[in-house]
């Protein structure tokens, strides 16, 4: 059973349901499978997963292009922390042209790949799990008072995961040392990354009228600011320019806060936060509409993603900052490796807990490494990285070396690797079954 019908949960269900002998149930807490949020960027590794899933056909039906091998023009990085005009310090050539898919479309395509042996139940919120004997089944309790059982449960229930709560509370309950127990309990709530993301859209027509030739109309760009610890990412999308203003208030760092995650905010609130930026940024905010503030939570440093017959995938195991745009891709990669293992003829009811460990050993360290890469990119964008301390007086040469270093951090996204991970996983499964 999968808890959660987001990107990770549906991709996982699609892979498992390739084996007609496995019954898959996906429980989604919302009344429908839907998703608000940013488009998901499909880089080379996720593209390998898409090809394996046969999604090319679904993409073609919806007139999406395929990703492009080789270098393509990426965002312009610009220093913007001054009232007078800022300047570009890096024009990024991406090593690979990713495909960007609006999230609702991606979920629609994943649903098209579910087998007849897969059921998706909506308005079905998992609230707790009961495992009386780790070699037996897992009972799932739902908020509507019902209960179901499964051989395994996979928590694909996002950053505020109920499954993660069960996994680490159960580990805590097994400890005799209260310090160790407390350390496990500390892993349950997600942490605030220290950053807020203010999201909003601008009509391209209105922006052109206010700022003829504004660079955001034609090219993605990222502007950064030293003193306010912020950066703005914008990219044109048809008649609209999307932009996200990231703001990391100085003096506050990782801390656990409540659940409030997305709230609408008045436009003036954002204008005030970005008041000292160059005119292009302020002008873009003035013509923006529908501002919301997203608190960026992360899930860091979990020592495990598996407890017996319960496992975590995607954000529930490793929610990360969005500064490389790879959180969704990492959820898809988890789903690919775990889903193929679970659909494999050599996986049996008895060896399921060891199969889950194979998934954990290969995927968790990799995704955590990418989460750290993303965190460091955020520091680079906000001129706060320990190795690249630049400030408003930094020379253009210093800025350019920061830009070059940012460019290099994207190199891994042009390389494949999912197939190699799968070969390693299958080899371990074959040895287990021998
Ligand atoms: C501002 C921002 C920008 C981003 N930009 C990008 C980007 O450009 N590219 C990219 O790849 N990633 C991006 N991400 C990250 C990406 O959104 C996530 O990594 C991805 O959605 C994780 O997928 P998931 O399936 O693990 O979780 P989710 O997409 O969060 O899905 C979890 C699902 O579980 C359901 N659920 C929750 N609790 C329960 C429960 N108890 N019972 C049943 N169902 C439950 C939820 O309703 C939801 O449908 C961004 C994130 C943010 C915040």
Query: pLDDT by residue (tens digit) across 234-248?
Result: 888 889 898 899 988
Last residue of a domain, one of 252, 278, 298: 298
Residue at a domain's end among 257, 277, 298: 298
**Is position 126 within any domain?**
yes
pLDDT tier, 252 (very low <50, low <70, confident <90, very high otherwise): low
> Ligand 1: does its nearest atom lie under 6 Å from the Cβ of 6?
yes
| Selected residue with higher pLDDT from 193 and 35 | 193
| Cβ of 382 below 6 Å from ligand 1 | no
| Domain-embedded: residue 24 | yes
Predicted confidence at residue 303, as pLDDT, reads 98
378 lines ligand 1 (CB under 6 A): no
Averaged pLDDT of the chain? 90
pLDDT band at 368 (very low <50, low <70, confident <90, very high): very high
pLDDT at 165: 98
197 shares its domain with 251: yes
pLDDT confidence of 161, banded at 50, 70, 90? very high
Q: Do residues 209 and 112 both lie within one domain?
A: no
Q: Does any domain span residue 391?
A: no
> Is the predicted pLDDT of residue 81 greater than 80, yes or no?
no
User: Is ligand 1 within 6 A of the CB of residue 163?
Assistant: no
Residue 316 lies in a domain: yes
pLDDT at 259 exceeding the cut of 50 = no
Instruction: Determine, yes or no, domain membership for 83.
Output: no
Same structural domain, 43 and 174: yes
What is the tens place of the pLDDT at every residue in 371-413? 999 999 999 998 888 888 787 778 889 889 999 999 999 999 9
Within-domain flag for 110: yes
Same domain for 344 and 428, yes or no, is: yes
* More confident: 161 or 273: 161
Q: Among residues of the chain, what percentage have pLDDT more than 70?
A: 95
Q: Which atom of ligand 1 is nearest to the CA of 4?
A: 34
Domain count, the chain: 2
294 lines ligand 1 (CB under 6 A): yes
Test site for ligand 1: of 7, 124, 155, 338, most ligand atoms within 8 A of the Cβ: 7
- Give residue 41 CA to ligand 1 midpoint distance, Å: 13
First to last CA, the chain: 27
Q: Indicate whether 251 and 237 sit together in one domain.
A: yes
Q: Tell the residue nearest (CA) to atom 51 of ligand 1.
A: 322
Domain presence at residue 406? no
Do residues 62 and 105 lie in contact, with contact meaning Cβ atoms separated by under 8 Å? Answer: yes
Confidence at 365, pLDDT banded by 50, 70, 90 = very high
- Find where tokens 């960026």 sit: 296
pLDDT tens track for 57-75: 999 999 998 888 888 888 8
64 and 172 fall within a common domain: yes
Buried b (16+ CB within 10 A) or exposed e, 119-135: ebeeebbbeebebeeee
Q: Tell me how far CA of residue 283 lies from CA of 10, 243, 265, in angstroms.
A: 40, 12, 18
Q: Which residues contact 215 (CB under 8 A, 6 or more apart)?
A: 76, 221, 280
Hunting for tokens 């008045």 — which residue is that?
A: 266
The CATH number of residue 305's host domain is: 3.50.50.60
Cα separation of 430 and 349, whole Å?
15
Apex 178 CA angle, 173 and 182, nearest 5: 75
| pLDDT value of residue 255 | 45
**Residues 107, 50 within the same domain:** yes
Nearest CA to ligand 1 atom 11: 328
For residues 280 and 37, which has the higher predicted lDDT (pLDDT)? Answer: 280
Regarding the beta carbon of 324 and ligand 1, being less than 6 Å apart is answered no
> Residue 310 carries which DSSP code?
E
> 145 and 181, same structural domain?
yes
Q: Is residue 423 part of a domain?
A: yes
Phi-psi domain of 71 (left: phi exceeds 0; alpha: psi -120 through 50; beta: other): beta
333 and 215 assigned to the same domain: no
In this structure, are 125 and 13 located in the same domain? yes
Closest C-alpha to ligand 1, atom 38? 157
What percentage of residues in the chain have a pLDDT greater than 90? 60
Confidence of residue 279 (pLDDT cuts 50, 70, 90): confident
Q: Both 277 and 378 in a single domain?
A: no
Contact 153, 122 (CB under 8 A): no
Residue ending a domain, among 235, 266, 298, is 298
Q: What number does the ligand 1 atom closest to the CA of 6 have?
A: 31
**Tokens 């005799």 found at:** 176
Q: Based on the domain organization, do 54 and 64 belong to the same domain? A: yes
- Domain limits for position 224: 191-298
User: pLDDT tens, 417-429?
Assistant: 899 999 999 999 9
Q: Determine whether the shortest distance from the Cβ of 190 to ligand 1 is under 6 A.
A: no
Closest ligand 1 atom to the C-alpha of 244?
1
């Amino acid at each position: 059973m999968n808890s959660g019908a987001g990107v990770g949960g549906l991709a996982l269900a699609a892979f498992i349901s390739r084996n007609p002998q496995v019954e898959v149930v996906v429980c989604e807490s919302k009344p429908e499978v839907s998703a608000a949020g940013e488009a998901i960027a499909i880089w080379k590794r996720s593209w390998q997963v898409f090809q394996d899933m046969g999604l090319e056909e679904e993409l073609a039906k919806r007139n999406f292009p395929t990703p492009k091998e080789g270098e393509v023009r990426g965002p312009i990085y610009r220093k913007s922390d001054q009232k007078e005009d800022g300047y570009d310090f890096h024009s990024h050539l991406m090593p690979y042209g990713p495909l960007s898919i609006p999230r609702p479309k991606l979920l629609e395509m994943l649903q098209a790949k579910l087998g007849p042996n897969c059921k998706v139940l909506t308005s079905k919120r998992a609230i707790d799990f009961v495992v009386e004997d780790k070699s037996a089944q897992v009972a799932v309790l739902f908020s509507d008072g019902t209960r179901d059982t499964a051989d395994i449960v996979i928590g694909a229930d996002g950053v505020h995961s109920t499954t993660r709560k069960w996994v680490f509370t159960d580990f805590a309950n097994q400890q005799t040392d209260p310090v160790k127990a407390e350390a496990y309990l500390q892993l349950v709530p997600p942490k605030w990354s220290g950053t807020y993301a203010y999201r909003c859209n601008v009509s391209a027509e209105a922006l052109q009228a206010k700022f003829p030739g504004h660079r955001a109309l034609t090219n993605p760009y990222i502007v950064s600011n030293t003193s306010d610890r912020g950066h703005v990412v914008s990219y044109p999308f048809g008649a609209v320019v999307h932009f996200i203003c990231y703001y990391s208030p100085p003096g506050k760092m990782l801390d656990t806060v409540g659940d409030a995650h997305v709230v609408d905010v008045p436009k003036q609130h954002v204008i005030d936060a970005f008041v000292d930026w160059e005119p292009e940024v302020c002008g873009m905010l003035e013509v923006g509409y529908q501002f919301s503030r997203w608190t960026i939570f992360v899930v860091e440093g979990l020592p495990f993603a598996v407890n017996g017959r319960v496992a975590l995938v995607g954000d529930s195991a490793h929610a990360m900052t969005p500064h490389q745009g790879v959180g969704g891709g990492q959820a898809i990669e988890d789903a690919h490796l775990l889903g193929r293992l679970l659909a494999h003829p050599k996986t049996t009811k008895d060896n399921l807990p060891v199969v889950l460990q194979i998934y954990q050993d290969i995927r968790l360290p990799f995704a955590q490494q990418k989460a750290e890469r993303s965190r460091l990119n955020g520091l680079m964008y906000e001129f706060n990285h320990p190795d690249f301390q630049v400030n408003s007086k930094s020379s253009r040469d210093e800025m350019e070396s920061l830009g070059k270093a940012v460019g290099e951090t994207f190199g891994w996204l042009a390389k494949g690797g999912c197939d190699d991970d799968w070969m390693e996983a299958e080899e371990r499964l074959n040895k287990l079954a021998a």
